[in-house]
Amino acid sequence: MSWSRRTSLKDSGTQWLGEVPSHWLIRPIGSHFIERKTTVSDRDYPPLSVTKDGILPQLEAAAKTNSPDSRKLVLRGDFVINSRSDRKGSSGVSPQDGSVSAISTVLEPHGIDRYFAHYLFRSGAFQEEYYRFGSGIVADLWSTRFSAMKQILMPVPPEEEQLAISSFLDRETAKIDALIAKQEQLIATLREDRAATITQAVTKGLDPNVEMIASPLKWADSVPSTWAVRKLRQVATMKTGHTPSRSHPEYWVDTTIPWFTLADVWQLRSGRQKYLGETSSMISETGLRNSAAELLPAGTVILSRTASVGFSGIMQRETATSQDFWNWVCGPDLEPEYLLYVLRAMKPFFDSLMMGSTHQTIYQADAAAISIPLPPITVQTEIVDHLDSRTTQIDILIDKSTQMITTLREYRSALITAAVTGKIDVREAV
């Protein structure tokens, strides 16, 4: 959809705004906002989270403060922005009284519509300008204090235009958000379909007419009568890793070996990547003592037992792993690709095996006791071919929806910036 472009513009005198409508004022933020610095306890004022979706009751996953009595007071209608550069876009008008962490800046608006400011400060152009005024040692410790923020120049349209812009953006962003929500729901449905397709194939097979029998598996109720059920260690060698002795100098002297560690777990998290990419690290003597630095053959199937518990992949080349993984080298009766799909079907079961009060893990005894359905090797190959084809089709649909969400979010951001900086005229928009 296209909107009317402004024709009478002037130079704002600041790069982030560019040209603005000639009748708009340009003022420093400090002219319209006062910083609220009142210190309160979260026992008196409920804790709030400053997120990219606005100001919300404190999220369950949010890190809890060690100083509950040293929080900042927020009153309904205050604008709150997270001052750290790694929280870009986390801001908004608070719908309630509460308290936020000291890292956030709380502002009381004066002489400006708080909802116009809500959109202005959440625009991508302003966020970049805001963090340009920050300071710090490294990126994740970079923050912008109000003493710097208040110097930033902001556009101030007439009051009726501020209201028109905020109303327009309420309406248009709600439409965009609804489209995004539909795509997100579609992705969730596709992922459920993907998981169900894998589970169906590795527990029921591809023949809909096959006779089924009760299964001894804890995670599947039945299997085809022509299949076996075996302990995984009967058809694959479990490798927990060990530190090579000094008799293997290739691991100790001037060596760089391929090594898969917790830093590489991102390759597993999507549950889509089948073969793990190359990873290479220079392993120090200290590092080797803490790692499972035995080179495992290509085709080894690994399972994450600590971070991102229960995610799996196949080694594309000879690789060593850290002790955060259980590894299986398949025997002649087990295809690595089939085992991978079985392990992915077992993901909910692995979640139930997690133990530990501080760090969740799958213990070796539980990993060693895993049983799997085992069809003939030719059937394993058929199942792998079927799942490769079907999951690829599903992944293409997921990628299309993901790209649609990206496009919609980019459009949303551009629309907000265009409206709050006066590049489009929304006064007559219906």
For the segment 201-220, what is each residue's pLDDT rounded down to a tens digit?
Answer: 999 999 999 999 999 998 99
pLDDT value for 283: 44
- Among all chains, which residue has been given the structure tokens 């490294």? 138
Tokens of 319: 């690789």
Whether the Cβ atoms of residue 342 and residue 335 lie closer than 8 Å to each other = no
Count the Cβ atoms, other than its own, within 10 Å of residue 102. 13
Reference 79, options 44, 126, 41, 42; nearest CA is 126
Tokens of 89: 């876009």
Calpha distance 72→97 (Å, rounded) = 11
The vertex-96 CA angle with 71 and 28, nearest 5°, equals: 75
Bridge partners of 292, per DSSP, are 321
Q: How far is Cα of residue 51 from the mean position of the Cα atoms in its chain?
A: 14
Whether the Cβ atoms of residue 241 and residue 293 lie closer than 8 Å to each other = yes
pLDDT value for 251: 55
User: pLDDT tens digits, residue range 264-274?
Assistant: 777 777 777 78
Please give the domain boundaries of the chain with CATH numbers for all domains: 25-156 (3.90.220.20), 206-374 (3.90.220.20)
pLDDT value for 368: 87
Higher pLDDT, 334 or 42: 334
pLDDT value for 306: 82
Reference 107, options 48, 33, 172; nearest CA is 33
Q: Residues near 235 by Cβ (< 8 Å), separated by ≥ 6?
A: 330, 331, 333, 334, 372, 374
Higher pLDDT, 282 or 77: 77
Percent pLDDT > 70 in the chain is 87
Reference 120, options 10, 23, 50, 29; nearest CA is 29
Higher pLDDT, 65 or 233: 233
- Mean per-residue pLDDT for 164-173? 95
Whether the Cβ atoms of residue 107 and residue 30 lie closer than 8 Å to each other = no
Whether the Cβ atoms of residue 200 and residue 290 lie closer than 8 Å to each other = no
pLDDT value for 59: 78
Local confidence band at 293 (pLDDT 50, 70, 90 cut-offs): low
In this predicted structure, the answer to whether residue 419 has a pLDDT above a threshold of 70 is: yes
- Mean per-residue pLDDT for 78-93? 84
In this predicted structure, the answer to whether residue 243 has a pLDDT above a threshold of 70 is: no
Local confidence band at 288 (pLDDT 50, 70, 90 cut-offs): very low
- Among all chains, which residue has been given the structure tokens 């760090």? 359
Q: What is the pTM of this model?
A: 0.82
* Radius of gyration of the chain, Cα coordinates, nearest whole angstrom: 28
pLDDT value for 357: 60
Mean pLDDT of the chain: 87
Calpha distance 149→134 (Å, rounded) = 8
Reference 124, options 356, 412, 424, 427; nearest CA is 412
pLDDT value for 66: 61
In this predicted structure, the answer to whether residue 328 has a pLDDT above a threshold of 80 is: yes
User: Which amino acid belongs to residue 349?
Assistant: F
In this predicted structure, the answer to whether residue 282 has a pLDDT above a threshold of 90 is: no
In this predicted structure, the answer to whether residue 236 has a pLDDT above a threshold of 90 is: yes
- Residue 426, classed as helix, strand or coil, is coil
Which bin fits 230, alpha (ψ -120 to 50), beta or left (φ > 0)?
beta
Calpha distance 343→341 (Å, rounded) = 5
Q: Which of 69-73, 122-126, 401-405 has the highest mean pLDDT?
A: 401-405
Count the Cβ atoms, other than its own, within 10 Å of residue 172. 19
